[in-house]
């Protein structure tokens, strides 16, 4: 019976890679949709605490971010280990907040300036002393809407 | 002369191009989502004359956090697990207990922290207090409309917000020590 005779040489045939671009494109779109552009280079540690009662920040363009925490390991030799405030791409003193708020407000459409929200992204090991100072400066600068940035999850959920 | 068919474009490098884009997005973006606990800071009062009216002591729920992350509620030590219930009881008192708040509109939660309190503990307490209000709002929404607060229309939400206004005051900075 020669009907079932194998044609050509034996061995496994090459796997078709024709659908590879499709798979990669799918991954690409997934990441494009779920992630956001990095806005600043983080100079501080930023492990945010957990909370359950969270609200989503609606309008990205109305949000200004400030970061607080101890400097990253590689920067500790230069800046020390004490928690610091980061504005834009550099460390800053709390007294610079008023100036920073002004600049951020300038970037927002005039009618919407009162809606500006300051998102405080602080590391969970930061002491409240620094946060309180930041809050006082924000009050002085008339930036009263704030948002404590957290990760969704039960409180202390990675320590129990 | 017969028209020649256009040769097929080689799509073999499509995967490489897509990979390149993928890696670019992986590097430049973060998964970071903007979620958090929203608060409104009180404006700084400069005029002595414009002092806010005094609030009766029984309408204030004092929450203290010391530098060792110890939680004190109305001068008593409390575990964070019990804070939510205690806050709910205080807000929803309606004069039942003469030492607790008159009604949710008058109830104010005052949260004070030391400079040495950790941010994590502060957020945990903020979370529990917010949860107390959210649970009360949910219960009220269930009672009146039969659905959860988050599923209500904007007007209904406002109505319930009016009944249970979230009054959490982050007091002026003080040093509590301890």
pLDDT average, residue stretch B26-45 = 82
Nearest to A24 by CA among B10, B28, B30, B13: B13
Helices (H), chain A: 20-34, 76-79, 97-106, 128-140
CA distance B150 to A53: 12
CA distance B102 to B97: 9
Whether residue B31 and residue A126 make contact (CB cut-off 8 A), yes or no, is no
CA distance B61 to B108: 6
The answer to whether residue A118 is domain-embedded is yes
The answer to whether residue A93 is domain-embedded is yes
Of A31, A55, A128, Cβ closest to residue B35: A55
B170 interfacial to chain A (CB closer than 8 Å): yes
Which residue is listed with tokens 């209500």? B152
CA distance B34 to A149: 7
Q: What is the pLDDT of residue B59?
A: 86
Residue A32 confidence (pLDDT) above 80: yes
The answer to whether residue A7 is domain-embedded is no
DSSP structural state of residue A71: B
Of A25, A117, A129, Cβ closest to residue B18: A25
- For residue A153, count CB atoms less than 10 angstroms from its CB and return exposed for 0-12, middle for 13-18, buried for 19 or more: middle
CA distance A37 to B26: 10
pLDDT tens sequence across B113-125: 888 888 899 999 9
Whether residue A128 and residue B118 make contact (CB cut-off 8 A), yes or no, is yes
Which residue is listed with tokens 């993928």? B22
B66 interfacial to chain A (CB closer than 8 Å): no
pLDDT tens sequence across A123-134: 988 888 899 889
For chain A, the farthest-separated pair of C-alpha atoms sits apart, in whole angstroms, at: 94
CA distance A54 to B102: 28
Nearest to B163 by CA among B126, B138, B131: B138
pLDDT tens sequence across B59-83: 888 898 888 888 988 888 888 888 8
User: Can you name the residues that pair with A56 across neighbouring β-strands?
Assistant: B35
Interface test with A, best of B120, B125, B134, B175 (most A CBs within 10 A): B120
The answer to whether residue A61 is domain-embedded is yes
Backbone angle region of A69, left / alpha / beta, with phi > 0 → left and psi within -120 to 50 → alpha: left
B28 interfacial to chain A (CB closer than 8 Å): yes
Question: Which residues of chain A are within 8 Å of residue B14 when distances are taken between CB atoms?
Answer: 21
Residue B173 confidence (pLDDT) above 80: no
Nearest to B124 by CA among A45, A159, A132, A81: A159
pLDDT tens sequence across A74-95: 888 888 888 889 988 889 898 8
Q: What is the pLDDT of residue A10?
A: 67
CA distance B88 to B77: 17
The answer to whether residue A37 is domain-embedded is no
Q: What is the pLDDT of residue A5?
A: 59
Whether residue B40 and residue A145 make contact (CB cut-off 8 A), yes or no, is yes
Question: Which residues of chain B are within 8 Å of residue A56 when distances are taken between CB atoms?
Answer: 33-35
Q: What is the pLDDT of residue A8?
A: 59
DSSP structural state of residue B24: H
Of B21, B22, B122, Cβ closest to residue A128: B122
Q: What is the pLDDT of residue A7?
A: 58
Between these two residues, A16 and A134, which has the higher pLDDT value?
A134
Residue spans per domain, chain B = 57-170
CA B28 to chain centre: 30
Domain boundaries, position A70: 50-152
Number of structural domains in chain A: 1
């Amino acid at each position: 019976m020669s009907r079932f005779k194998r044609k050509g040489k034996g061995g496994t045939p090459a796997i078709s890679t024709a659908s590879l671009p499709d798979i990669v494109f799918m991954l690409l779109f997934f990441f494009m949709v779920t992630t956001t552009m990095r806005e600043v280079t983080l100079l501080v540690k930023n492990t945010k605490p957990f909370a359950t009662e969270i609200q989503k920040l609606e309008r990205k363009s109305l949000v200004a971010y400030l970061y607080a925490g101890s400097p990253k390991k590689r920067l500790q030799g230069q800046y020390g280990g004490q928690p610091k405030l980061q504005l834009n791409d550099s460390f800053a003193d709390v007294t610079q907040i008023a100036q920073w708020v002004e600049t951020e407000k300038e970037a927002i459409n005039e009618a919407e300036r009162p809606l500006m929200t300051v998102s405080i992204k602080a590391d969970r090991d930061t002491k409240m002393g620094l946060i309180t100072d930041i809050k006082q400066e924000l009050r002085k600068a008339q930036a009263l809407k704030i948002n404590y940035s957290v990760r969704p999850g039960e409180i202390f959920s990675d320590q129990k | 002369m017969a028209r020649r068919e256009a040769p097929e474009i080689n799509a073999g490098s499509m995967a490489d191009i897509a990979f390149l884009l993928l890696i670019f997005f992986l590097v430049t973006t973060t998964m970071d989502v903007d979620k958090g606990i929203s608060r409104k800071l009180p404006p700084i009062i400069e005029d002595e004359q414009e002092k806010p009216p005094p609030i009766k002591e029984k309408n204030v729920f004092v929450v203290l956090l010391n530098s060792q992350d110890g939680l004190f509620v109305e001068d008593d030590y409390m575990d964070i697990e019990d804070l939510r219930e205690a806050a709910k009881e205080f807000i929803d008192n309606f004069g039942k207990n003469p030492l607790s708040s008159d009604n949710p509109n008058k109830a104010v939660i005052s949260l004070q922290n030391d400079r040495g309190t950790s941010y994590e503990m502060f957020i945990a307490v903020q979370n529990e207090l917010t949860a107390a209000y959210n649970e009360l709002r949910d219960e009220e929404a269930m009672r009146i409309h039969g659905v959860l607060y988050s599923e209500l229309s904007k007007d209904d939400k406002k109505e319930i917000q009016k009944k249970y206004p979230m009054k959490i005051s982050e007091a002026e900075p003080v040093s509590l020590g301890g």
